[in-house]
Amino acid sequence: MSFVIGRGSDAETVQAGRVGTYRALDGSDGADLYVDLDDPHAMLVVGKRGYGKSYTLGVVAEELARAAGVAPVIVDPMGVFATLADGSTGESVPVEVVAEPTVAADALDPRSWCALLGLSPESGSGSLVWQAAQESATLEGMREHVAATDAPGADKRAASNHISLAESWDAFDPDGLDAADLAGSAVTVVDVSGLEAAPMNAVCRAIAEALYRARITGTIDRLPWLLLDEAHAFFGGVAADALHTVLTRGRAPGVSLVLATQRPSSLSETAVSQSDVLIAHRLTAEADLEALEAAQPTYVHESLADRLPTEPGSVVVIDDATETIHAARIRRRDTPHGGGSPSAREVADQP
């Protein structure tokens, strides 16, 4: 029997992931710390650059890859999670890497198409793109729809140019990722590091929506866990609506979200307040501390800023299910960590 974050003390550790150990006041390691992987959760992993957010997300991903009944998916904007597939020093970690992800054009609704292309739906070209997205499921179809209208030539040209821009992203394909591709038991790493912010958001939105809808309609059995690194990049783009849906309504269909960010103040208030598990690394920026303090539950009586650790890999965990707060150290990765910054000394030491 151990403490399982999201479940409580004296809990069985079945369907729970071992993510680290308790940290005693003198800094020494204590008992193992687990997180619940049975129920759906909204987790938030925060910390300033270099203190271990991506590392922690990798540890959670390793545990999810080994857990039964879940479909873990990482959207990877920095291209650092493919190393999960590079061999494990412990129990194996099944991984599928999607190196060049695409999604179907009709995964986005007409409003999102206008937002993605920076067009006002009220403008001539914007309304053409809106109609095209409403009528066609592919970029080619959208282009044909625009060409066939009797709108003014300038509007048609502008709409068509914007559709060409979307084509140039290489992010849309009728055979793009769907829920079935993402719902395997291995952790699916969707490497969006080669995409600009707009198509990266489009891919993230399509994935979040596909997983959510598939659980509502019962087309997938496993419970999806969507992990987002650099999550702030998705809350200012077209992915935001779909992520809010998962945050506010994902629990009933069993969709979990794990958000990692160095800038919690750049997430929406909902994203911070809906999280039932907060894993906080060192954080110093005033605005970020304020964003967390504002959403701090009433059972946390002391200032979070005073409790935050100073070492990479050390965390404070706030667990809503048990209304408890814990000092812990995240365990070492079993697979190689793909993040971390290069040092000039390392380069100089190379033969």
Ligand X SMILES: Nc1ncnc2c1ncn2[C@@H]1O[C@H](COP(=O)(O)OP(=O)(O)OP(=O)(O)O)[C@@H](O)[C@H]1O
Site track 213-252 with ligand X (rule: CB under 6 A), x = hit: ----------------------------------------
Distance between CA atoms of residues 106 and 304, nearest Å = 43
Q: Is 73 in the site for ligand X (CB under 6 A)?
A: no
Runs of H (alpha helix) within the chain = 53-66, 110-116, 124-135, 139-148, 153-168, 179-182, 197-216, 232-235, 240-249, 269-273, 286-294, 304-307, 344-349
Select 6 or 313, whichever has its Cβ closest to ligand X: 313
The Cα–Cα gap between 206 and 242 comes to 8
- Indicate which single residue of 17, 47, 199, 253 sits in contact with ligand X (rule: CB under 6 A): 47
Residue 340 binds to ligand X (criterion: CB under 6 A): yes
Q: What is the DSSP letter of 332?
A: P
Residue with tokens 């994902």: 250
Which of 95, 330, 334, 335 touches ligand X by CB under 6 A?
A: 330
- Judged by beta carbon, residue 36 or residue 76, the one nearer ligand X is 76
Among 50, 94, 174, 184, binds ligand X (CB under 6 A): 50
DSSP string of 92-153, one letter each residue: ---EEEESS--B-GGGS-HHHHHHHTT--TTSHHHHHHHHHHHH-SSHHHHHHHHHHS-S-H
Q: Which of 96-104, 124-132, 287-295, 329-337 is the region at the interface with ligand X (rule: CB under 6 A)?
A: 329-337
Q: Which stretch binds ligand X (CB under 6 A): 151-159, 196-204, 298-306, 336-344?
A: 336-344
Smaller CB separation from ligand X, 139 or 327: 327
Applying CB under 6 A, the span of 43-51, 69-77, 98-106, 263-271 interacting with ligand X comes to 43-51
Among the listed residues 172, 155, 149, 148, the one whose alpha carbon sits nearest the alpha carbon of residue 120: 155
**Is 325 an interacting residue with respect to ligand X (CB under 6 A)?**
no
Q: Using CA atoms of 277, 101, 268, 225 in order, give the dihedral in degrees to the nearest 10.
A: -20
* Site for ligand X, residues 259 to 278, rule: CB under 6 A: 262
Residue from 312, 321, 322, 336 that binds ligand X (CB under 6 A)?
Answer: 312
Among 23, 41, 53, 162, binds ligand X (CB under 6 A): 53
Q: Interface residues with ligand X (CB under 6 A)? A: 47, 49-55, 262, 312-313, 330, 332, 337, 339-340
